[in-house]
Structure 1
């Protein structure tokens, strides 16, 4: 579980809600027609921009990628592939047959190696898998950025609708204040959805995509080295460029030990 994402999302929503309810009640900020305009209008615009399958996939990927910290750290991957390299140097590629890992991409790479495919085919298959993963992240990010762009605009549209309705009742001064409050609520709803939900999730998806792409590049580089039979220590030194100097020193100390 990526606890920081969940904490940040809940904390942001809670802070705004507490500020809203400090001198008011829930009923003050609740307007069902305005909420329907913003949510329904944003959903409709999203369906116009993207296919339904892309929208469903985006929400599924967002939940999986942003609320679960399933990606291993580069330092962990380097230590694991170094073990794989030592096994291959002793037993050959078939020595990896019983090796199981929690990383799906690395597991696929191991299976391709064990099956006896040539290095060129293994590399091509892994790069294709990496490109498809990056494309899925990109589409999901675009969906949430689209929601973040559309929600405030739809909210403003709802405000204009409310203002038109308010202008029709100018002969009753007592109704102007409540009508104006209701008109502005749609802008509030749109900004709430965009700034506290959609855009932060889009940024988190972009960050996860970068982390996933880095890990996959590291795995592809290491698999190429393993299939060429390179020295595990040399391979580790090459892969150490993927981690910070602090983690690099820890990896070197562990290898010496």
Structure 2
């Protein structure tokens, strides 16, 4: 669990509420169902319109990364690559076949399988790099879904504000309905800006950061496996991969 994400979300919500309450505001006034439906529903509909079904579903599946990110241990990865290099040096590539079966990470497993199959070196690197590029691009498109929501939300909030004012102006002779329309107008703007800057854009950036971490880890695995295929010394491979500790 990513405690930093949880703490950040709580601090943002509490800070806004405290600031509002200290100024004499009541929390109940911030809950306006019509405004929420306009802003959230409008934003969701707009982003669904621009996305394919598979990409939208994938974006939803990545949402859990914000609080439960996948763990990639660079240090353990380097140790594994060095171990594989030593096994290949002692017993040949076929000695890695059983190891590949126990590896859970799909990219690493594919690389070991290609190594065991004796794929030509240039094709070996090309295959791993292509797989890495496509995986990164696929996930970045999903992160863009949340960035798009962050772009649409303030605009939909303004739309909600205009609709609220239209409703208010049509009820000038009825104070209760006039007040409700004005409340919807202002709250819709708050929802639009708040959702964008407290949820959608941070979620997009968080997912991008995790994708970058994944990419760096897989680049390390790729470089290590290519070095094994090239017959490099395990100690030399470890020195080469040590640069990834800084990533």
- Shorter chain as normaliser: what TM range? 0.7 to 0.9
Structure 1 unaligned blocks of 5 or more: 248-257
Instruction: Give how far 1:19 is off.
Output: 4.8
Instruction: Give how far 1:180 is off.
Output: 2.5
- Distance across 2 between alignment mates of 1:2 and 1:46: 27
**Alignment of structure 1 residues 229-244 onto 2, 5 Å:** 229-244=231-246
Partner residue in 2 for 1:117? 119
Match of 1:228 among 227, 230, 242: 230
**Alignment of structure 1 residues 72-87 onto 2, 5 Å:** 72-87=72-87
**Alignment of structure 1 residues 181-196 onto 2, 5 Å:** 181-196=183-198
Partner residue in 1 for 2:3? 3
Cα 1:71–1:125 shift into 2, 3 Å: farther
Task: Tell which deviates more after alignment, 219-228 or 162-171.
Answer: 162-171
3-state SS of 2:119 partner: coil
Instruction: Give how far 1:41 is off.
Output: 0.7
Deviations 1:170-215 (A, max 9, x none): 4456765554233100011112211111100110111112111111
Contact kept in structure 2, 1:38 and 1:155, CA below 8 Å: yes
Structure 2 unaligned blocks of 5 or more: none
Partner residue in 2 for 1:151? 153
Cα 1:55–1:234 shift into 2, 3 Å: same
Task: Tell which deviates more after alignment, 117-126 or 153-162.
Answer: 117-126
**Alignment of structure 1 residues 1-257 onto 2, 5 Å:** 1-17=1-17, 19-20=19-20, 23-63=24-64, 65-99=65-99, 100-171=102-173, 179-244=181-246
Two-structure CA RMSD over aligned residues (Å) = 2.3
- Distance across 2 between alignment mates of 1:190 and 1:236: 50
- Distance across 2 between alignment mates of 1:206 and 1:228: 32
Query: What TM-score, normalized to structure 2?
Result: 0.88
3-state SS of 1:71 partner: coil
- Distance across 1 between alignment mates of 2:139 and 2:225: 24
Contact kept in structure 2, 1:130 and 1:216, CA below 8 Å: yes
Deviations 1:225-252 (A, max 9, x none): 10122101111111222223xx9xxxxx
